[in-house]
Structures are given as structure tokens and as C-alpha cells.
Structure 1
């Protein structure tokens, strides 16, 4: 039995949690026993102090813990009440446990079991409740307790959501206990030994026995979890890694991923170790066995979070040294390596340092290039030279590069060059038989620079990739560090969703809930009543928000029904159509405004509105529209002029005319006044200049300050 790494081919277990398997059992049988029976023994005997003849209500009795509790309570001749969620599970219970009468079997999907308990116990209630239900069913369960009863909470939904309880229940002197055997197993070895000893006694007495199970192969892990989420299983769900063999020493072949391990005797150096990614990498190294860490930072510890992480590591017995050596200089790098060697031989160096000076190439300077190259290219070059002499046992020389080098990113030519230099150093080391790997990361989410830029509402675009979660980065690091290539990459490529793959929100949610035929259920039944658990609720909230832009909270989704969801989706669709229609109408109106007037389009000169309406003495202004002959864009100007404004337009009958020819054809309309102004818009500016040039040649105009 182990608290972590249960789904693996190898792990080291605590000797106190190991017990001998009876000869009549298979390993598959034994795998159904340990966790559920230990949880039940701890809950009922260590916490609940159950005695023979006690009355107990076991919720969701056909689950692993429920069946284990049922076997224990039958052995101790308790008065047992149970709940199940489906008719199939009720039929299983009646067939395999005929000792439980029909009037002691309730429904776990609603609160009707409360009335069952009150009726059968004559309003007395039960001594113990083993609960896995939530919300209103949890409240109803508490009301089923007898005077001085004990409530054993094995579900974590209400605990995680910090749900409240009515203190009036305490008038009956009841007690509420959260059963977290995983915490007991990790932190209280003496208590764990007592529980395991009681388990072994139970095997001998016959009440600890194997449970029914659903079996999945090693390549069906995801399928097994989805099956568990449906809530249809009875007993346990097992993942089978290998066939059971009579010979305890045998060869077993299976596909596996290499795993990075640290040596407790050696030191691990992380340059830029106090940054967001650096702290996560440090934590990863500690989990992989590192006991000596050297983290570098130009400014040292500056935040409470940094201090907290380091304090947590020190409580684990980790030696942590914060170095402020300047790694951009050769002397600083040498001092850093000497400092690290004092703790122990250096086994791995990770360079995460980065300084961004983004700008378009024409705006880049020698200074911006030097700033970006210093912590990356220059530091890596010095570390390469120094580690050859001072780190003879170095196994890993790891550089964090970027896709801005491998695929390019606008505004980061200096940053890309810095990464490129580091990669060439790694390639050179690899050719010489030295350890080296440069990892081209995409945008890393949650921590680090990319996450900071997003929090500051800066647009983040990196070569068509999405942000990669830091947990995913650390997971793939195992594989990347074992590659024999000098340069490797890790990214999450953004995929465009095809329209023909988009389904309705109702279809998507029904798929998550495992409902194949919507006609078999009521559309007014809540998702919770249809079997939605906490994992499903999170998946549904994310699905609705991401794929259908329907925003609901984790609290709202509990009371959501398919009828309400259909209404929300229809409302969303109608709103989208209204917005689209409005934009289309606005576009059409704008387009119509720019259609030339049929009556005036053929006229060479047209008087326009201005601040001068009567034939008063005022200057004349000739306005030439652009090549499209549309005057609408200039109305805001001409309406404010204190002048006689005449629109002059050239005929479009001869589109091949040159600018000089167009000016010559337009010119006769301008020479009636001795003083006038010309305004040319867009292409017409060239025509206006051509007209002025012609006037100067003919001597009909003198260019002055006001023209």
C-alpha cells in the first residue's frame, strides 16, 4: 500500500504497510482490499468506536468502501441501512447480500432515505453514518443521526468547498469527523501500523475479503478514469500491468519513459532559480532526490513566496544556497561553481536566466543586444569553459532556450540571437562528447515571464503556440533530458477547431455525463441528480466556457438542467445573430453613404455647402476629391470653411490619362477668380500640384503664401 505513485511499475513501500496475501487469493484479489478496508477500519473502529449491534447508515454501499464497510458491519452483527444509486446496484445488493431487507435500502440520488431512517428507527436515528454524499443529501444525512451519533465524512466535495453545517444539529451531541486516511498514512506511522494489524486480523477472521472489480489494461488508464466518473461501477476499479505468475522472480517487459533522478551526494545549480520557473524546477529537483541546491539571482530573495519555498525545502533537510554572483562575467561564473562545489560535486547546471529587450529590428541597438546576450550567451560560454576544468563529474548541462530562436518571433531578434548562441555552444559540447542540451520552450503558462505578461494584459503571441502548463513542462523534462540531441523542443501547437466538429452544448454535456439517449431522462433533472460528480462539474464548466462561451460557475452547474442549458444556448445564439445583424446594417449604411450622387456625378463643378451661403465677398476654394470621386470624407472640412466651396471632379471617361493630362482637363474651371485656394484629397493632391504647375507656366497665377 502506498499514498502516491500507485499507478507505476515500481515503488518503494513502507514495511509497516506490507501484509501477507492468503494462499487462496490472487494478487488481483489483494489489490481490491488494502485501501478500502484500511479506510473503513480507521473510520469505524479508530474514530467511530463501533461496537457489535451498533446501527449504521452506509451511503453508496456498492462502491469499494461501501462494500468493505458492509462486510465488516455484517461480521459485527450491526443494524445496517444502506443507499444505492441505480436499480442495477439494488439488484446486485439483493442477490449478494440477502441479509439486507428491502426496507433498509434507500436511494442515494435524493433525500428520501431520511424518511426511511426515521420510519425504521422510530425517529431514533442511527449511531454511525459513513457518508460520501454532498450538499442537501449531506444535510439530510446529519438529521439521521441518533443522540451522540458520529458522522464519518469520506467524501471530499463539501470539505474542499468549505460547506457550512447547521450548529443546531449539535444539540443531539453528535460529532462530525473527516476521514482522511491518506493523511494518516503519510504522517502517523504508528496509527497506520495499528490499522494494518487490524486488517490482518480481519483477514484471519474472514470479514476482510476481496471485492468485485472492473479490470482495465495498462493502456486503458484514461478509459478507466472516465468509467469511474460515470459512477456505474460496483466495487473497485483496477489497472492490470502484468499477468500474475507463479514464479516470483521473472522478466517483465513493458513500455516505459525514462525518468530523471538526482544523487543526494551532488549539487544542482539553477541560474535564475528564484524566478517563477526556477522555483518550480527547484521543487522538481527536490522531488527527484536532490539534497543540495544552489539558486542564483541578481537581486536575491525579494518576495515572501520565494522565502516560503526555500523554508519548505529546508524543513525537508535540503541544503539551499542563494548566490548573487554575476554570471555575465567569467569571474562571477567561476566563483559560482566554486561556491557550489563546496556543498558537493556539481551534477547538473540549468541556465534559466533571461532578460527581454523587445523591439522591432530597426529600433534595436547594440545595448539591447548586449543586455539580452549577457545572461544567456555570455554566461553559457563562460560556464562551458569553466565546467570543463572544475566539474569533472557533470552529467547535465541544460540550457533553457526558446521558440523565438527555432521559429522566430517579431520584436525578439536579440533574444533569438542569444538563444541561438547557446544552442551552438551545446552542439559543440555534444560533438566533443560533453553533456549538453538546449530546450526550445514555447510560452510557459502559470509562472514565469509569459504568465507575467498575460497578467499585465499584454498580448502574447509566440509562433502560433499556446501556453504550456508548468506541470506539463516538468513532465516532459524527463524525456528531453534523456535525449541524445543537443537541441530539442517542447510546445503546445494551437489547433483550429473545424466547424463541422462543433456540437451543441447539450450534446457535449450529455457526452460528459455518459447519457447516450436524451429521451431516457427528464430535461428538468439537475446534472447532480443525473450523477455528476466534482470532476465532471469542473469538466462541464470548462467545456461550456471554452467551446460555447456559456459562463457558469461551479456552484451554478450543480443546479443546471438540460432545459435551462438549452434556453441559455438559444439566448446566446440569438444575441450573436442580433450583433451580427447590427454590424451588417451599420456596414451597409456606411457603404451607401459613399455611393456617388447620380445627378451630380457627371458635372465638372458643383457648389457645396459651407459657412457662406449668400453671394458675399469671400475667397473661393476648389476641392478635388480622390480618384474614386467620392466627396463624403471631406464634408466635415468644407462645412466649416468661410469661403465659396466648389467641388471639381475630373471625368472618368478617360482612365488612362496621365496626371498632367488630368490637370490640363480640369484646369479651365479654376481661372475665373484671381485669388483662390485648392484642396486636393489623396490622389487628387498630385492633380492639384499639376494644375498649379500649369498655371505658373501660363503666367495666370502667382504663388503666394495663401495658395
Structure 2
């Protein structure tokens, strides 16, 4: 017997040994490996197949089950059942626009032989951006900062840039001073091809208590500083001109009237430059958790967490920065009745970790009528997904509060039923046919289905269940018992750590 399929091999199929007493053999053949290792044999076999076909000795396999290209997922589900005879064919539409194409991230490469100006880029956020630019191929970065005079090129950060093949030039000065900006342009070793304006000064206080000096301190670096860069680089051909703004410029922030006004200017300035045919884009950044000002101020970060404000991470910023760089080139504004869209302005982090209707949601913008669309989105998402995941979410939430729930027999039955329902939905089979004691092999569970189930365990339960553990389970019921054991272990460890940490855990959270 020659086995050319892989399902039984990968699914750990078993054979009774008694049949091999009569000089029988079982041989597994991986034709893909033969194609790779012995192409001459492969060529000879294919030629013989074509000769047989032309002579009419072999014909296409029948029957043929046909799926439209828009039903590609259904075709694979059907094949996974392992009950079909013949071939499964996917037909392509005459018009390719009928197919939905998934989006993908375009690659970004910085040009060698030019310099990039990073204003105010010596803080945590700016250093992350500079490293990212070097990894993307930037060979020269100019830093304009008031603190540049306090650093030397022997600083570990600049040595890291040098190891990445990037040379740094430091210029001490203020972007609010046109002469300081011009000195950077004139002192650059290579022509400037791109700008990231990330300067920021905070002088937070109530508007009625805000002095003229407080107002100017926050406004000048962004408004006058941006205008100075615009004038100093007049005539330079730039690939991008990116401004770091904040979503406070979109909807305001208590105690930051000056900062919000400056960011609103940046949003408008992008339109001004693009109307002149010049590159410009703006990134309205939300609360950054792991880099930047907020990450260095535990009290401020804790405030945002307590109000259910969504926080961003370093990779969120870098991914968004790549997008606004690619959208920095002038593009026509899309204006429709009661609608305005500027592709070169991107806001990130304007969301909440709790439903807006939750009483403990205290995000500062939840009552802003301009954000009413979020309530509509929230209602729509809830109506679609609530029936599927709400029961499991509530169960896991209850377990987090009281792990002893896992000891109840009803909990095992609930988890087992959730696994079975999910498994049958993956295989496009009605849950009415679900038998919890049926073997996974009999149900047609193969490695592809196991991978999907593994991903479901990670996403929905936070469990790292391997494909081997899944396929090694005799039945859905046994898989439910394994899952319950993993949940018990997970929450037992959490309880022990919480009991042992005490005040030490609180102090670690507060450490700078």
C-alpha cells in the first residue's frame, strides 16, 4: 500500500499490525520532497503522464465540485471534512474587481546620500523614531534640540545609530528661532530630503490661570517653529514633511488650551502646504504608554488608565508614522456635502477600553457630540459579536474574580461545549451533529483545523495550547478537560503571585 496523502500521517493515524503478516508493506510517499530533491525523476513522471493523457489512457478525475472564488474559505472547509470524492475546483471571476483583496503594508526605504531633519528628537519618542529611520536605511540624521549641547556623539544612543550605518549631526538651538533653523540647513553635510517636526513644550494649567508666557511656551515651538522650518527649506525638494501633533488639537484637553491650539495649527498647516503643491502630513498622537512624556510620569499614565482611555505602544506610532510619510505627497482633498477628508492627517489612539455607555468610563471625550459616531460603531459591533462571545467573556471574567468557579462540574461542561461549538463552526458543520465523546479523527480534525483552534485558544482564553496537544486529545470532552486544567493552573499562578507581591507589586508599578 502506498500512501500519497498526508492527513493520516500528520493526524497520527494508526494501523493494526496483523495485516502485515502476509508480506504486506505500507509506504508513505511525499511527492513534494521528490520534486525538490530529484527533479529528473519528476520530469520523467510528468512526461509519462502527459503521454498517457494525449493517448486518452487517463482522463480528468471526476466528479468535480465547483466553488466561486468568492467562496474560497468554504472550499477549504469542504476539503477539510475529508469526505469528498474527486476534485475541488475554484473558478475565477471574469472581472477581477469582484474579488476582495486584503490590504498589506507597503515597504518604506529611506534614501541614502541625503539627510533627514528631526526636530526635538532627543527624548524617548524621538530616539525611537530615529532608530526606526536608521533601520529603514537613513544614513544621516540632523537633530535640532535645545538639549543637543548637553550630549556628545559618544552617547550610547548615537553609537547605536552609527552601528546601524547612520551618522548623527547635533545642533543646539530652538526651532522657534529662525536663525537656529537656518544654521541647521546651512550646516548639513548632505541635502535635506525629509523633516519630522516633533518639538513639544507643555505648560498645563486652567485657562483662566494661564499667563501669556505659559501660552507662548507651548505655542511657539509648534506654530512659529513649523513656520521657520517651512521658510528655511523654501526651494528644497522634500520627500516628506511630517508634523507630530496630538488629538488634543481635534477635541481639546482640560488644562491644555495652549497645547491644543498649537496642534490645531499643525492640522491646518498641512492643508496650507499641500495647497501650494508641497509635501506635508500630520500625525495626531494619543496617549503613549511605553515611550514619551506620559510613560515617564506614572501619575499621568495611571490617570489615563483609570478613565478607560486607550493607550498606544511604540509599534503603533512607528506603523502610523510610515503611513503618514507615504501620504505626505500633495493629494487632492475629498470634499463632499457635509464631509471633509484629508488623507494626510491621521489620528491614532482616540478610542476607549470600555463601552462608552459604561458608568465607569470617564474618557474626556465621551460626551463630545462630535464623537457620537463611536457610539453607533459600538452598538453595531455589539449586535454582531455579542451573541457569539458574550457568554465566554462573562465566564472568564467571573473566573478572574473567583477562580474557585473552575472546580464546578458545570464549568467543565460549559468550556467543553464552547470548544465543540467553535470546532464545528470552523468545519462548517451544524452544531446539532456535535458529539462531545466522538474522536477528533472521526470528526475530520486535521492540522489546519488544529491551528485555527490553537489561535482561538490564544485570542479568546489566553491559553498557549499547542497543535500537538489538540491533535493528541481523544475527543472534544478530553480536550475540554485539558483546557480546564490549563485554566486552573493559569489562575492558580496568578493568585499566588498576587498574594506574594503585595506592596512590592505596587512599588514596581510606580518605579520610574
TM-score of the pair, normalised by structure 1: 0.41
Larger Rg: 1
Would the aligned equivalents of 1:262 and 1:289 in 2 still touch at CA under 8 Å? yes
Q: Kindly report which structure 2 residues correspond to 1:37-48, keeping only aligned pairs within 5 A, or say none.
A: none
Instruction: Report the Cα distance in structure 2 between the residues aligned to 1:538 and 1:290, rounded to whole angstroms.
Output: 37
Is 1:513 paired with 2:364?
no
Give the total of aligned pairs. Answer: 381
Instruction: Report the Cα distance in structure 1 between the residues aligned to 2:89 and 2:164, rounded to whole angstroms.
Output: 36
Q: Kindly report which structure 2 residues correspond to 1:181-330, keeping only aligned pairs within 5 A, or say none.
A: 204-206=43-45, 232=80, 262-273=110-121, 278=126, 281-282=129-130, 285=133, 290-295=138-143, 298=147, 306=157, 310=161, 313-314=164-165, 319-328=166-175, 329-330=177-178
Instruction: Report the Cα distance in structure 1 between the residues aligned to 2:139 and 2:18, rounded to whole angstroms.
Output: 56
Higher helix share: 2
Q: Kindly report which structure 2 residues correspond to 1:182-581, keeping only aligned pairs within 5 A, or say none.
A: 204-206=43-45, 232=80, 262-273=110-121, 278=126, 281-282=129-130, 285=133, 290-295=138-143, 298=147, 306=157, 310=161, 313-314=164-165, 319-328=166-175, 329-340=177-188, 342-343=189-190, 345-362=191-208, 364-366=210-212, 368-388=214-234, 392-443=236-287, 448=292, 458-460=302-304, 467=312, 469-470=316-317, 472-474=319-321, 476-477=323-324, 480-482=327-329, 483-484=331-332, 488-491=345-348, 493=351, 495-496=377-378, 497-498=381-382, 501-502=385-386, 503=388, 504-505=391-392, 506=418, 509-510=422-423, 513-523=426-436, 531=447, 532-534=449-451, 536-544=453-461, 551-554=462-465, 564=480
Instruction: Report the Cα distance in structure 2 between the residues aligned to 1:276 and 1:215, rounded to whole angstroms.
Output: 53
In structure 2, the CA distance between the partners of 1:438 and 1:471, relative to structure 1 (3 Å rule), is closer
Would the aligned equivalents of 1:401 and 1:423 in 2 still touch at CA under 8 Å? yes
Highest relative contact order (Cα 8 Å, sep 6+), 1 or 2?
2
Task: Describe the SS at the equivalent of 1:537.
Answer: helix
Q: Note the residue ranges of structure 2 that are not aligned, 5 or more in a row.
A: 51-60, 334-341, 353-376, 393-417, 489-512
In structure 2, the CA distance between the partners of 1:111 and 1:488, relative to structure 1 (3 Å rule), is same
Instruction: Report the Cα distance in structure 2 between the residues aligned to 1:418 and 1:214, rounded to whole angstroms.
Output: 60
Q: Note the residue ranges of structure 1 that are not aligned, 5 or more in a row.
A: 1-78, 86-105, 131-151, 153-194, 245-253, 545-550, 573-707
TM-score of the pair, normalised by structure 2: 0.53
Q: Kindly report which structure 2 residues correspond to 1:597-608, keeping only aligned pairs within 5 A, or say none.
A: none
Would the aligned equivalents of 1:401 and 1:439 in 2 still touch at CA under 8 Å? yes
Offset of 1:509 from its aligned partner? 3.4
Q: Kindly report which structure 2 residues correspond to 1:89-238, keeping only aligned pairs within 5 A, or say none.
A: 106-110=8-12, 112=14, 204-206=43-45, 232=80
Offset of 1:405 from its aligned partner? 0.3
Instruction: Report the Cα distance in structure 1 between the residues aligned to 2:182 and 2:208, rounded to whole angstroms.
Output: 36
Instruction: Report the Cα distance in structure 2 between the residues aligned to 1:206 and 1:368, rounded to whole angstroms.
Output: 82
Would the aligned equivalents of 1:224 and 1:237 in 2 still touch at CA under 8 Å? no
Offset of 1:232 from its aligned partner? 2.9
Offset of 1:320 from its aligned partner? 2.9
Would the aligned equivalents of 1:214 and 1:236 in 2 still touch at CA under 8 Å? yes
Instruction: Report the Cα distance in structure 1 between the residues aligned to 2:444 and 2:291, rounded to whole angstroms.
Output: 34
Q: CA RMSD in A?
A: 6.0
Task: Describe the SS at the equivalent of 2:327.
Answer: helix
Would the aligned equivalents of 1:356 and 1:415 in 2 still touch at CA under 8 Å? yes
